[in-house]
Amino acid sequence: MRVAIALLAAALVHAAPVSACTVAMPYRPLSSVPPSTARTSIVDIVALSVDRRQGTVASVQVVRPIRGSDRPGTRLTLPYVLSVCGETREPRKGERLVMYFGSAGVLGWATLAEARRFDPRLR
């Protein structure tokens, strides 16, 4: 009986509300360069963690700046939104990504293979 209650409680905690599935997630993999891009960098995901103040946080290290003033080796801590419905994939630790930054923060990200398809600076 205790196991059944624990499983039910776990299912309720992890179940996504239906209304959340209709909300667009701001940090999803991109299919084109965002029009308001100010900086672009190739980064490695160093760590993914949950912070009490910021929520889910990705710690990234700049490998190579494509556009902008980021220096190689610079570490950035970036909050991001977890996918509620499983419709977008999340970045993984150790993954190398191309991140597009606007004036207010991260606009989106893509893997190197994805970014080469739509970003002429990476070809």
Tens digits of per-residue pLDDT, 48-95? 888 777 677 889 999 999 998 889 999 998 877 665 555 566 788 999
In this prediction, residue 20 carries a pLDDT of: 45
Strand spans (E) along 1-123: 39-51, 55-67, 75-79, 96-101, 106-111
Q: Is the pTM of this model over 0.75?
A: no
In this prediction, residue 25 carries a pLDDT of: 43
- CATH number of this structure's domain 25-122: 2.40.50
In this prediction, residue 50 carries a pLDDT of: 82
Query: Across the strands, what pairs with 75?
Result: 61
Domain edges within the chain: 25-122
Give whichever of 1-5, 9-13, 25-29 has the largest mean pLDDT.
25-29
Q: Which residue has the higher pLDDT, 77 or 25?
A: 77
Q: What percent of the chain has pLDDT over 90?
A: 32
Contact predicate 96/63, CB 8 Å: yes
Q: How far apart are CA 27 and CA 48, in angstroms?
A: 14
Residue located via tokens 């290290």: 61
